[in-house]
Amino acid sequence: MKVLLIEDEHALSDEIVNFLAKLQYDYETAYTVKSATALLAERYFDVILLDLGLPDGDGLEILKSVKMDQSDSIVIILSAKGDINHRINGLELGADDYLSKPFSLAELHARIQAIIRRKFGTNGNVFQIGEFTVDMVARMVSCKDNQISLYRKEFDILSYLILNKNRPLTRGQLYEHVWGDLSISNGDSNYIDVHIKNIRKKLALHATVEWLESVRGIGYKVNISK
């Protein structure tokens, strides 16, 4: 899960990124419209935490750009502005949620998870795939009470395939989600193939992984009908 925090209050920004690090999220920070725009031009982000009152412009302009170029990204507005009009404007422009400062970091995490569940049509954070249990919040994979150790990128790939169950994802989509690089094309890298091979190898030590399928000419998918 890649997060972009756009927040010009350095103390609050530090508090949030420390919290994100504990949750094992990959993150980038920006303090201005200019720096945020540069990052968004280079990388894809699953979640964007957006302050409206930035020193060099209005955060709503960033929101407009995100909804044009990275429409799948989750955007949560973080703002001290209590004016109902700002909230309405942000939601009408496509923001997924709105938190007024001050807010609880636990609530922020709960809002992110709720939006992910709604976006992907899931009812919880724990998935049963074949004989494996995958806990998205704890970032744990287990099989018959045996915990399976996956590297961060391996878990990110597997969890994204699970969230998009039964939907083939290209190598480019997986690379973009995990590494955030918008310039990669589907055939430019075998990183995904190597990681999928390692995931299968680790899981196959415990049970069959026929549900983790290769889709010829496209990429990979998790088939939950198996």
- Find the CATH number of the domain harbouring 178: 1.10.10.10
Count of domains in the chain?
Answer: 2
Per-residue pLDDT of the chain (226 residues; tens, 9 = 90+): 789 999 999 999 999 999 999 988 889 999 999 999 999 998 889 899 999 889 999 899 999 999 988 888 999 999 876 667 877 888 899 999 999 888 999 999 999 989 988 888 777 789 999 999 999 888 999 998 899 999 999 999 999 999 999 999 999 889 888 887 666 554 456 889 999 999 999 999 999 999 999 999 899 999 987 5
Rounded Cα–Cα distance for residues 35 and 12 (Å): 18
Residues 149, 114 within the same domain: no
According to the model, what pLDDT value does residue 5 have? 97
Q: Where are the alpha helices (DSSP H) in 121-190?
A: 152-163, 171-179
Exposure pattern of 82-110 as b/e (b: 16+ CB <10 Å)? Answer: eeeebbebbeeeebbbbeeeeeeeeebbe
- Residue after which a domain boundary falls, among 120, 155, 179: 120
Do 132 and 214 belong to one domain?
yes
Same domain, 26 and 102: yes
206 shares its domain with 154: yes
Do 97 and 185 fall within a single domain? no
Whether the model pTM is above 0.75:
yes
Distance CA(98)–CA(84), nearest Å, equals 11
The candidate with the shortest Cα–Cα distance to 48, out of 11, 80, 81, 16, is 16
Range of the domain at 142: 126-222
